[in-house]
Amino acid sequence: MYFQDWIKQNYTSDESLPSDAGVDAHSRVMLRDGRSTSSESTSDYSNDTVEKKRRFALYAGCFAIVVVAVAIAVSTLLATGVFEKEISPVQDQEGFDFSDLFGSNMPSIMPVGTLQPTITPFPTGEPSNLPSDVPSEAPSSTFQPSISPTVGVPSSSPTWVPTMAIEPISRPPVVPMDLTSETLMTFCVIADVPYNQVETEALPGQIATQMDGCEFMVHLGDLFNGDTFCDEEDYQIIRDMMLESKVPTFVVVGDNEWNDCQRGFIEIGWERWVNNFMHFENHWAHNFTVVRQPGYQENFYFIHKRTLIIGLNVVGGRVHNSTEWTQRLRTGYEWTRSVIDLNLPTGNADGVIILSHANPSVDHLELVVPFRNYVANELENKYPILYLHGDGHSYIYTPHYMRQSNLLRIQHEGGTNEPILKIMADPARYPGSVYDAFQVDRQLELMDQ
């Protein structure tokens, strides 16, 4: 009886065994293999098998429905941006939120992202409720700005709808530069070039024909396309082009030629940049007294016609070493501050132009936050300051930058789609207005030639 009970417990239920089931050898084999010793138990076994298959199909169907539902939910959340990384609010002691400056929705006074530039003066940052002084070809029946964009030939009047709501800015019209002023300085700017064969062919012609009146030239970084092996040839191509310049040329570090080289080639890229472009201005005879930052020789400053020009290593791209990145930005700020303190309050210069590559982002808070506080609380906006950079591949003119009345930001479009940019500076004559002290000539009329 013990063996029979063991069989019942481990191989089948009591109901599947005949009441008089024996324990002969044949029965044992049948029970061990899951088979019944009678037609009745065979039928019960078949019914159990069907029931198990039915339950399995039901469970599998429910599981599939759950998987599909989860996939749809995740897709919906991704589409609505729930999983996007948010910028943590970073505020200074005055409550200014630096996260408002960063990201793809950064406000712009000038329209961005168009294939052709918009020829425009410096528009205000908010739509006006008054009609334009310049009548349109098809005037609106109301004074409200049109929602639909103008399609076709770029307008010669400003676009009154900014890419993002920004605070209203009120300022007088720009005063024309006094071309006879002894402190008027003009220099040329290129950036983010050459990226392709078209730009490689076009840039030498621009350097040869579009730099009239420039006293020096600056390349704002990104000497070629990013994410490459940073071959020596890449550095030599742009080096040879810029050596054709008739005026001294300064080169600011970009991320493509160093930080964004393929992994394993970053240090090689830096060595090649240093070998080709450190002290690049010394290929020309000049009288600029250039001073470089100890430990970061790529950072430099000089004073020309009472304008202090500072070049900084501020790049975008990947942060490979957070310790190095933070240290470079902090020491860059501290050195910049010391240079300004040395030259502006003492009367050596009347305004500042800061040259760098990167469009400031949350990766640059170690530089941006203390610099904004320094301008606001210590310099008290007494001196006009221009922050000039590339990186964004569109032209942006941002007055009242970081809500500072005497701080202006200009992003150069770069490439060769537009002519070489000219900056005219005379803060000695216009110390109270950054818009008058630093003026821009995009030379857009040359595009029609």
d(CA 10, CA 18): 16
Helix residue ranges, H only, 296-384: 322-343, 365-373
Domain boundary among 31, 53, 84: 84
Q: Is residue 278 part of a domain?
A: yes
Residues 218 and 362 both lie in one domain: yes
Q: Is residue 252 part of a domain?
A: yes
Q: Is residue 147 part of a domain?
A: no
Indicate the length of the chain as a whole number: 449
Instruction: Domain count for the chain, please give it.
Output: 2
Nearest to 412 by CA among 339, 328, 353, 336: 353
Q: Is residue 307 part of a domain?
A: yes
Q: Is residue 96 part of a domain?
A: no
Q: Are 393 and 185 in contact (CB under 8 A)?
A: no
Q: Is residue 100 part of a domain?
A: no
Residues 232 and 357 both lie in one domain: yes
Per-residue pLDDT of the chain (449 residues; tens, 9 = 90+): 454 554 455 544 444 444 444 445 444 444 444 444 444 555 555 666 767 777 777 777 778 888 877 777 766 655 444 443 344 455 655 666 666 665 443 433 333 333 344 444 444 444 444 444 444 444 444 434 444 444 444 444 444 434 443 444 445 568 899 999 999 999 999 999 999 999 999 999 999 999 999 999 999 999 999 999 999 999 999 999 999 999 999 999 999 999 999 989 999 999 999 999 999 999 999 999 999 999 999 999 999 999 999 999 999 999 999 999 999 999 999 999 999 999 999 999 999 999 999 999 999 999 999 999 999 999 999 999 999 999 999 999 999 999 999 999 999 999 999 999 999 999 999 998 999 999 999 999 999 77
Strand-strand pairing, 385-389 and 407-411: parallel
Q: How far are the Cα atoms of 96, 188, 251 from residue 359, in angstroms, in the given order? A: 19, 19, 17
Q: Is residue 289 part of a domain?
A: yes
Domain boundary among 23, 51, 84: 84
User: Sheet of 249-251: strands edge to edge?
Assistant: 249-251, 217-219, 185-190, 421-425, 438-441
- 203: helix, strand or coil: helix
Strand-strand pairing, 396-398 and 407-411: antiparallel
Residues 191 and 76 both lie in one domain: no
Q: Is residue 136 part of a domain?
A: no
Nearest to 350 by CA among 287, 439, 411, 425: 425
d(CA 76, CA 140): 39
Angle at 389 between CA 383 and CA 395, to 5 degrees: 105
Q: Which domain CATH number covers 275?
A: 3.60.21.10
Domain boundary among 69, 84, 99: 84
Residues 298 and 435 both lie in one domain: yes
Give the orientation angle of helix 266-277 with respect to helix 232-242, to 10 degrees.
20
- The domain of 2 spans 1-84
